[in-house]
Structure 1
Amino acid sequence: MRVVQLLTQRTGGPLDHAVDVAVGMAGRGHESHVVGPESDGTARARAAGVTWHPLEMATKQDVGGGAAVARRLVSLRPDVVHLQDRRAGWIGRLLARRLRGAGIVYTLHGVADGLSDLVPGNALAAPRRRRDRWYYLDGERAVTRWSGARVVVPSEAVARFALEHVRLDPDRVDVVPNGVDPVRFAPAGASPRRPPTALWLGVLGEVKRVDVLLDAAERVPDLRLLVAGDGPLLPEVERRAAQPGLAGRVSLLGRVHDPAPLFADADLFALTSAAENCPLALLQAMASGLPSVASAVGGVPEVLRDGVDGLLCPAGDVPGFAAALGSLAADASARRRMGESARARILEGYTEDHCLDGLLESYAKARACAR
């Protein structure tokens, strides 16, 4: 097949996932393309035999960029177009009838912050806006029906949102969990550090609630933090990290091009988000043999078993996070046991091969409906 991944983002989980899928499709012998802005993943994709078309639609109002993307998609005559972020999802589905029989697949990577509490376990990450219902519920339902696209959802929790609130046709929704490369993300075998070190990895934005991490860590004086990421809250995080109680214990690493080496420098992983789907960073940490302390939001409890692969806490629960971090920081044997279980969990069902198998089934269904 000729398979095209369509992106409009330069960073974030959808980008990382799209590159992984494009590389995986090339590895399985398909003609694999990415249409989107160049990014940290471009070189890795090209080295694996993926053809990258560096085109960008920077905003929803970027008519020229959108037209260039549309022309390239049509000219490629793809068998499958996989839409990997919200803006890409709108472009590709609106173009569906010009793509002449291509199967259209859209991955719903997440829910708008103003609607996040409609997903089981999630907290409300931002105030509701008037346009949220029209754009993310009514609009999504209309453009999906019009295009005949299949919708892939990486977690059962967000699939419920798609069925109950967007009111998508259940026959067009496929649950395909994200997956990671268990070779690229493998346990390092390093000895425990003193003091124990927790890694946090993500975009420094409101929904990721890094403030909860810092508040909790302040209550665990024997814990060191590695914070990897960039975003609008960086100045606030820098200010907090320099205050008494945290000063000297927090290393701010900025945006990291390749996260794989980070996990070797940590004893445990922390995920403090108010809302999630099936977060790649968590899967990467688990594959790397790290136990996690994570918010019990979205699809996270589907992956991380409380007390087995790590510890779960309600979103925003600073005392709960502090207790969980302190418990794992103080118990190297528990960290080792949970880390081994986390690695096994990934090997059982959350590798790239598992994900690619599921996506290929969705691609086949999309192509059958498009003929």
Structure 2
Amino acid sequence: MKPLRILHSESSNGWGGQEHRTFKEMLALRERGHDLELVCVPHARLGERLAGEGFTVHHVAMRSGADLSAVCAMRKILKHGRFDVLNTHSGRDSLLGGAAARVARTPLIARTRHLALAITSRATYTWLPHKVVAVSDWVRRYLVSEGVPQRDVVTIYTGIVRQPPVSRSTLRAELGLGDEAVIAGTVAILREKKGHADLIRVAGPLIEQRPNLHFVFAGDGPLFSEIEASVRAQGLASHIHFLGLRRDIPNVLAGFDLFVLPTYQEALGTSFIEAMAAGLPVIGTAVDGVPEVIEDGVNGLLVPAHDDRALAGALLHLIDSPDERRRMGNEGSRITRSRFSVDTMADEMIEFYRSSLAERGAMKRAGVHPHA
């Protein structure tokens, strides 16, 4: 079957879950024989990472959502590259790239929705793209409620790359902790909606009850200094440890006994998936797409958001139950091998592109032109 030519677009210059998924997806589809390129803003970290992997990366400024020079530049890239698909990811590149692809008559325009935030431009989900990919069923249902035709939205979960098992983590030696310590760990950017403050609020009483309990926060972010200062002020610094930004996440996760993140908002929850792949039981909140990752009582525990009592209870249950931790961790690891693998994501994206292209071709032959 003929390889697909796919152009991804991204107007963000940062690096988060959205960019990481695009990076993994492009690598996986290239391994399957398809041709992929990226158009992004200058100095975008995604562009730098993909260029380092040998991808062709085009740079367009994308100064605003009405930047006609950007539309012309992207149209030229699309026409010259004869792409089968344009897959957009953020608001600005969806506006500009979508308009460019319409003018260039690109056969398929798709947008991937990565976030649990309210949408700000319906046109970038209804009029400009032909199809939309949601990273969870929760996101898909939300988009349909906002007017995106149900037939035009598909859920494809974000997959992870399973890392080789870490024989022995260096984390405990780094923190001066022995094997008797129970470590409840978190890997997430330190910002309000991740719920670190909730975790710290319940930590004090729990540490008094279980002196061998330690919390470890990996990640940086806008609230790092504020949260760290709060921990010191409460006299909890000997039991709540801040690692900052880490590049050795598999090593860090291998040092945890359980993973906990009382997030307020999460389109899916890739950090939970990474922890599950490392064989950890997970505690999360029953918000947005998280229940699609955590099955309560099977691979972890779900609690209501902002419920300190429920969060403390879930923590105590796993702290005191090593056999339960082991059982849930094994089940989580099993789930990530299929439902949340990069291979599954890549295969489903290819099937999505091919079926969408075939559908559009059939409609054109029949003289039907929805979203033409």
1:175 matched to 2:165? The reply is: no
When residues 214 and 39 of structure 1 are mapped into structure 2, their CA distance, relative to the original with a 3 A threshold, is farther
Find the partner of 1:151 among 113, 127, 132: 132
1:18 matched to 2:22? The reply is: yes
Find the partner of 2:180 among 181, 184, 194: 194
When residues 67 and 197 of structure 1 are mapped into structure 2, their CA distance, relative to the original with a 3 A threshold, is farther
Q: What is the one-letter code of the residue matched to 1:29?
A: G
Q: Distance in 1 between matches of 2:190 and 2:63?
A: 21
1:104 matched to 2:109? The reply is: yes
Give the aligned partner of residue 246 of structure 1: 236
Find the partner of 1:363 among 330, 345, 353: 353
**Alpha-carbon deviations, 1:257-296, whole Å to 9, x = none?**
4633321222211121111121211111111111111111
1:13-162 mapped onto 2 (5 Å cutoff): 13-36=17-40, 38=43, 45-46=50-51, 48-53=53-58, 55=60, 57=62, 71-112=76-117, 115=118, 136=120, 139-140=121-122, 142-162=123-143
**Alpha-carbon deviations, 1:128-161, whole Å to 9, x = none?**
xxxxxxx63xx31x34332242111121222111
**Alpha-carbon deviations, 1:15-42, whole Å to 9, x = none?**
1101110111111111122333556666
Find the partner of 1:5 among 5, 8, 22: 8
- Structure 1 unaligned regions, length at least 5: 116-134
Q: Which has the larger radius of gyration?
A: 2
Q: Distance in 2 between matches of 1:314 and 1:300?
A: 11
SS at match of 2:338: helix
Q: What is the one-letter code of the residue matched to 1:20?
A: K
Q: Distance in 2 between matches of 1:53 and 1:262?
A: 35
- Structure 2 unaligned regions, length at least 5: 170-177, 362-372
Give the aligned partner of residue 330 of structure 1: 320
SS at match of 1:52: strand
Find the partner of 2:189 among 203, 211, 219: 203
Q: Distance in 2 between matches of 1:43 and 1:332?
A: 43
Q: Distance in 2 between matches of 1:44 and 1:320?
A: 41
Q: Distance in 2 between matches of 1:66 and 1:274?
A: 36
SS at match of 1:93: helix
1:307 matched to 2:297? The reply is: yes
Tell me the TM-score normalised to structure 1 length: 0.83
Tell me the TM-score normalised to structure 2 length: 0.82
What do you get for the CA RMSD once the two structures are aligned? Answer: 2.7
When residues 69 and 148 of structure 1 are mapped into structure 2, their CA distance, relative to the original with a 3 A threshold, is closer
Q: Distance in 2 between matches of 1:69 and 1:245?
A: 55
**Alpha-carbon deviations, 1:328-365, whole Å to 9, x = none?**
22322221111111000111311111111211122123
Q: Distance in 2 between matches of 1:307 and 1:206?
A: 27
Q: Distance in 2 between matches of 1:91 and 1:175?
A: 24
- How many angstroms does 1:315 deviate by? 0.9
When residues 26 and 264 of structure 1 are mapped into structure 2, their CA distance, relative to the original with a 3 A threshold, is same
Percent identity over paired residues = 29
**Alpha-carbon deviations, 1:290-311, whole Å to 9, x = none?**
1111111112112211111011
When residues 196 and 76 of structure 1 are mapped into structure 2, their CA distance, relative to the original with a 3 A threshold, is farther
Q: What is the one-letter code of the residue matched to 1:227?
A: F
- How many angstroms does 1:251 deviate by? 2.6
Give the aligned partner of residue 370 of structure 2: none
Q: Distance in 2 between matches of 1:173 and 1:249?
A: 45
Which stretch shows the higher mean deviation, 282-291 or 45-54? 45-54
Contact 2:67 2:96 in 1 (8 A): no
Greater relative contact order: 1 or 2 (C-alpha under 8 angstroms, separation 6 or more)? Answer: 1
